[in-house]
Amino acid sequence: MTPVITLTSDFGQKDPYLASIKGELYSLLEHPVIIDISHEIEPFHIAQAAFIVQNSYSHFPEESVHILFIDDTVSPENKPIIAKLNKHYFVCPDNGILSLISPKFNPDEVYEIDIQKAPNNSFSTRAIFAQAAAHLMRGGAPSVIGKKTEQINVRIPFTPSVNNDKNTITGKVIYIDNYENVVTNISEEIFVEIGQGREFTIQVRNNEIKQVVRSYAEVIRFDIDKNKRVEGGKELALFNSLGLLELAIYKSNPKHTGGASSLFGLQYLDLVSVHFK
């Protein structure tokens, strides 16, 4: 399959930055395939961007080039780099985002991009990234435009904790999606390991959830006539496709009635705990 270029940024859709990047890429390459992963990352929110890219990049063809424009201003502590990871290329700032994308961070190779000839203006980082991506898409070696390095910034991802009695897992909110579903860092693996089949209570501020369902629809009583049963607004917990504990409100519209994050009063990095009996 033919590799593609993906773009992830905190640019939004209002400003000209995204169009400028795409224009640069179309000027450098003939008929490039450019895919937008997301441009609605909260400004400078590296962890949010890492979560989105972590759960999407591997679905693209191998040798694809993923450009990440989050906290990308060049400085002595934030250099532009190229990394090859799991047969994919990443062109991004050296701000620790790669270590959050891959918790068991072990890149095949990392190169610091040579910026000696880069234009000296506020948009130069984006031009550097576009030129590096175009070079890779032509089959160019990273070593031609960069110097191999072993020194890159690493961020430690948030991990859940277990108390000494092994009856409580304490995790954090790591992502809130467009439906206001709340994703925690409590994995099904640690839930099963610590729980050992015991009864449990998921504590979410002043709310308690005592079961985990297999799908959103499982909270609905389909054995009751549709005109008589209650569907929207039911709170639920499940392990999502990523294997992480997720809290949701079934078919709740965030713009009208509120989703799980607003109804539970949860924000990024708030605590969620599971207590086993």
- Res 58: pLDDT: 95
For residues 49-65, one letter each, b for 16 or more C-beta atoms within 10 angstroms of the residue's C-beta and e for the rest, the string is: bbbbbbbebeebeebbb
- Average confidence (pLDDT) per 10 residues, the chain, 277 residues: 96 93 95 97 96 96 97 88 95 94 83 75 77 96 94 89 97 95 96 97 94 78 60 81 92 83 95 97
| Parallel/antiparallel/unpaired status of strands 168-176 and 161-162 | antiparallel
Q: Within 105-147, where are the H helices? A: 124-137, 142-145
Q: How far apart are CA 134 and CA 143, in angstroms?
A: 14
Chain mean pLDDT for the chain: 90
Structure tokens given for 275: 């207590």
Strand, coil or helix: 246: strand
- On whether the CB atoms of residues 68 and 94 are closer than 8 A, the answer is no
Which helix (DSSP H) or strand (DSSP E) does residue 80 occupy?
Answer: strand 80-85
**15 φ/ψ angles, rounded to the nearest 5 degrees:** -90, 170
Quick one: three-class SS letters along 101-115?
Answer: HCCCCCCCEEEEECC
pTM for the structure as a whole: 0.87
pLDDT in tens, 45-90: 999 999 999 999 999 999 999 999 999 988 888 999 999 999 999 9
Amino acid at 218: E
Domains of the chain, each with CATH number or no CATH: 5-148 (3.40.50.10790), 161-276 (2.40.30.90)
- On whether the CB atoms of residues 73 and 125 are closer than 8 A, the answer is yes
- On whether the CB atoms of residues 223 and 145 are closer than 8 A, the answer is no
